[in-house]
Amino acid sequence: MRGALIGCGFFARNQLHAWRDIDGVEIVAICDQDEARLTEAGELFGIARRHADAAEMFAEGGFDFVDIATTVGSHRPLVEMAAAAQVDVICQKPFALNMGDARAMVEAIAATGKTLMVHENFRWQSAVRAAIDAIRGGAIGDPFFGRVSFRSGYDVFSGQPYLAEGTRFIIEDLGIHILDISRALFGDVDRISATTRRINPAIKGEDVATMLLSHGSGVTSVVDCSYATQRRPETFPETLLEIDGTGGTLRLDAGYRLTVQGATEAVRDVAPPVLPWAEQPWHNIQESVLLIQKHFVDCLRSGAAPETSGQDNLRTFALVEAAYLSAAERRSVALSEL
């Protein structure tokens, strides 16, 4: 299975490492407008075919899928190029600039019969996955309350300085992952209420968000995100969970400790491995990149729909849009409005 990758920046290196670790997959072409970045990635991963122009790369062809690892503004034209080239697509989040673009991208790939998956990797972190599997397996009966929390003071701007420039920040960049975890645990959302704040004066967007979700399943969940929280020890980049069910409780605590309490109590260490190319504390996210890309490949080989398909991700994307609308208008927003 031959692939191409567009965008050779900060996070894409993880994707290139992960592709190299998957049997039967080879990245045969890379593309980036930054010549130095393109050359560095090509030399590091032994990829001779390098393009500065995506249209040129698609015209030359020779690959089965494309991994789009660019910033959000370029996603729609690149996905539409992939549709025209009749190749499968895995695309970074945030998927689109707005709901209209997101729907158009999903429709463009659907018309070709090819697969479109969004690189929504937090639900694929092995610790989070262990909790999802336990909930879906009925370990605490029927859930009725959940809290999905990511609070940190980690300096994410040093590696990704563009994050400080957008008028939207934490919900769009991080909260989308945490909202998606809540959907994976409890199902789709009927209504959301959100508040936001900007604590760091050096950035333009919000760095704190708290969201209350009413799920169609009857679960109420709280999703809270912060990059302004000062805590020791730092828990970045762990997502913490607290879930109540009719048959017990589940907690994913700091240090990757999973506790399930019902008739008995079971405590597990669900810490992710540190892959040979990974580094702490990023190893949690880096392993999830490998796991989600394996899932994409497995789906292409079997013909199954990916768990985070473009169609599915429209629901997570709608939550982000609804959260910003709720915070701006200071009201509860029904997802049916979007």
pLDDT in tens, 227-254: 999 999 999 999 999 999 999 999 999 9
Kindly state whether residues 186 and 246 are assigned to the same domain: yes
- How many CB atoms are located within 10 Å of the residue 304 CB? 12
Kindly state whether residues 249 and 144 are assigned to the same domain: yes
Kindly state whether residues 163 and 245 are assigned to the same domain: yes
Question: Mean of the pLDDT values across residues 222-226?
Answer: 98
Kindly state whether residues 165 and 313 are assigned to the same domain: yes
The CATH number assigned to the domain holding 133 equals 3.30.360.10
CB 90 within 8 A of CB 63: no
Tokens coding 274: 């540190």
Kindly state whether residues 328 and 191 are assigned to the same domain: yes
Q: What is the DSSP letter of 265?
A: E
Q: Is the four-CA dihedral 140, 143, 145, 149 of positive or negative sign?
A: positive
Q: Is residue 72 part of a domain?
A: yes
Kindly state whether residues 206 and 71 are assigned to the same domain: no
Rounded CA gap, 282 and 225, in Å? 18
- Tell which of 68, 87, 114 closes a domain: 114
Kindly state whether residues 101 and 175 are assigned to the same domain: no
Question: Mean of the pLDDT values across residues 97-118?
Answer: 97
- Spatial CA neighbour of 260 closest among 133, 84, 76, 103: 133
- How many CB atoms are located within 10 Å of the residue 71 CB? 13
Tokens coding 162: 């563009």
Tokens coding 167: 């008028």
Domain range spanning residue 29? 2-114
Kindly state whether residues 201 and 330 are assigned to the same domain: yes
pLDDT in tens, 146-190: 999 999 999 999 888 989 999 999 999 999 999 999 999 999 999
Q: Is residue 242 part of a domain?
A: yes
Q: Is residue 263 part of a domain?
A: yes
Q: Is residue 287 part of a domain?
A: no
Kindly state whether residues 69 and 17 are assigned to the same domain: yes
Q: Is residue 284 part of a domain?
A: no
pLDDT in tens, 59-97: 999 999 999 999 999 999 999 999 999 999 999 998 999
Kindly state whether residues 233 and 261 are assigned to the same domain: yes
- Tell which of 93, 114, 135 closes a domain: 114
Kindly state whether residues 136 and 102 are assigned to the same domain: no
pLDDT in tens, 287-328: 999 999 999 999 999 999 999 999 999 999 999 999 999 999
Kindly state whether residues 189 and 317 are assigned to the same domain: yes
Q: How far is CA 223 from CA 74, 148, 213, 239, in A?
A: 29, 5, 8, 10
Orientation angle between helical segments 283-302 and 12-21, nearest 10 degrees: 50
Question: Mean of the pLDDT values across residues 189-214?
Answer: 98
pLDDT for res 159: 83
Residue with tokens 């262990």: 130
